[in-house]
Amino acid sequence: MKRLVESGLMFGNLIHVSSPALVERYNRALEHLTGKTTKLPDFYIDISGYSPEIGHELGDYLYLNHAGVNRQFILLSTQQKTAPLLGAKFSTSRGILRQFIEENEAALFALTARDAVAGELVNSVFDMSSPERLFDLRRVRVEADTTGGAVQQAEKLKAKTDQFLSEEDAWFDDVLIAEMIELAGQTGDVVRNPVQLKEMSFEQRNFWTAHFGGLYLFQQMDHPALITSGDKDGLGDLPIKYVFDLTDRNRIAKFLEYNDLVQPVVKARGVNAGAILRQKMDFILVDALAGEGIPLAGRGRVDMRRLASRHASVLPEEFHALASLVNWVENDGLWPRITSDHPAYFYTLRAADHADADLINMLLSELSPKDIRQLFICHKPLFYHLYQNWPEAKKAYVVEFLTREYQIDKAGARQALFGHEPEMAEPEPVRATPRVKGPWG
């Protein structure tokens, strides 16, 4: 794992907290939320304010996420919005935090200039004792304030200001005026500079959770289902009709098709399907040859093609099926029949254009784990788990590839793989313009 950390593929893009003032603010917020403090002079934090160094110091890697539900957060800067979320228990958590920061960026910028903002992603569930509790998750509400209660005090001041302006005899109410002056000393002028965080809540019906070995719950669908990465028989009776595990490939394929959740890569608009499929073939090739003592890192397209030719007899079905598909795309070859029980089937798909595209790509990456680029982008917890048991040759290739091909242009790579072009709009009718005669007729 050290190689991943050194290359920025793990714990990358965290926010460094190094100034004594920020450390002191963090400790106030940490004590406010958990009753604990850190003695570290500097550390790194993610979007939620979680620090792996502090987790190690406290011996509690869930110190801001007790029981894996109702995640707490500490904001020292709005710059945290670009940081990852470490140890995510729900696929929706980072998106909720980022949207909360972006929607309240001006207010948070003002608040974090003087204090830390502490808060919680609140839902109605306080433990995950059984899978049934997942169905009680309906909405997540964001609650936040500074450790000094600036937002709450500002609300009190605004209420008293409204009272002062609306009551006829308020000019003679010395107690009201004194309370306003005292509160204004703590919050500033809330009329000219409002200190207010938007009340935000988010519906959480379709999501992935790390609980119970990993579950994908799709409730808000025409055909709802739950898909588990573990054994479905161990989940017990659940209030949903269809429960699949990853061995139910045909049933998962039908679920994706019935809900219009996926599209074949070769039919996606605006993508280079041949290039995407050839890259997937390279990843499958690397997986097949990684234990053969063949150095793989740094090899180019010609080298990979030669390796494939030399070792064609040991390459798996996925490789040959994708090769046939590339031949159809680029050379008008025969259409290969790749059914849902074929090992290559889920390698040929990507999420369609809908609100749960990220969640579907996450599921597809688990169903096609040899595609290490999609796995790293869409399902980092599984990527890190599988990485530990890969042969050294594959680890070296993966780190070198992701550093060279993905890290330098993350947004471009995501757009090329998962972006959706808008549908072709009908052209506007051309209006006839009267012909104007010039000076020569």
Mean pLDDT, the chain, as a whole number? 86
Out of 135, 169, 203, a domain closes at 203
Report if residue 239 sits inside a domain. no
Residues 139 and 273 in one domain: no
pLDDT of amino acid 98 = 96
Measure the CA–CA gap between 203 and 225, rounded to whole angstroms.
18
Could you list the residue range(s) of the whole structural domain that residue 105 is in? Answer: 2-147+197-203
pLDDT band of residue 430 (cuts 50, 70, 90) is very low
Distance of CA 215 to CAs 225, 231, 269, 300, 336, Å? 11, 10, 30, 37, 32
At 207, phi and psi to the nearest 5? -165, 165
DSSP category for residue 297 = T
Residues 141 and 9 in one domain: yes
Reported as a single tens digit per residue, the pLDDT across 184-198 is: 656 654 444 456 788
pLDDT band of residue 169 (cuts 50, 70, 90) is low
Query: Residue 100 in contact with residue 146, Cβ under 8 Å?
Result: no
Residues 126 and 271 in one domain: no
Report if residue 312 sits inside a domain. yes
Structural domain count of the chain: 2
pLDDT of amino acid 269 = 85
Total residue count of the chain as it appears in this document:
441
Report if residue 50 sits inside a domain. yes
Report if residue 241 sits inside a domain. no
pLDDT of amino acid 436 = 40
CA Rg, the chain, in Å? 27
Reported as a single tens digit per residue, the pLDDT across 284-296 is: 999 999 877 787 8
Report if residue 351 sits inside a domain. yes
Angle at 273 between CA 268 and CA 278, to 5 degrees: 150
Reported as a single tens digit per residue, the pLDDT across 403-415 is: 988 888 888 888 8
Out of 177, 203, 229, a domain closes at 203
Range 21-37 average pLDDT: 95
Report if residue 245 sits inside a domain. no
Query: Residue 94 in contact with residue 88, Cβ under 8 Å?
Result: yes
Report if residue 355 sits inside a domain. yes
Report if residue 429 sits inside a domain. no
Residues 132 and 268 in one domain: no
Write out the DSSP string of 34-100: HS-----S-EEE-TTS--HHHHHHHT-TTTTSGGGSS-EEEES-GGGGGS--TT-SBTTHHHHHHHH
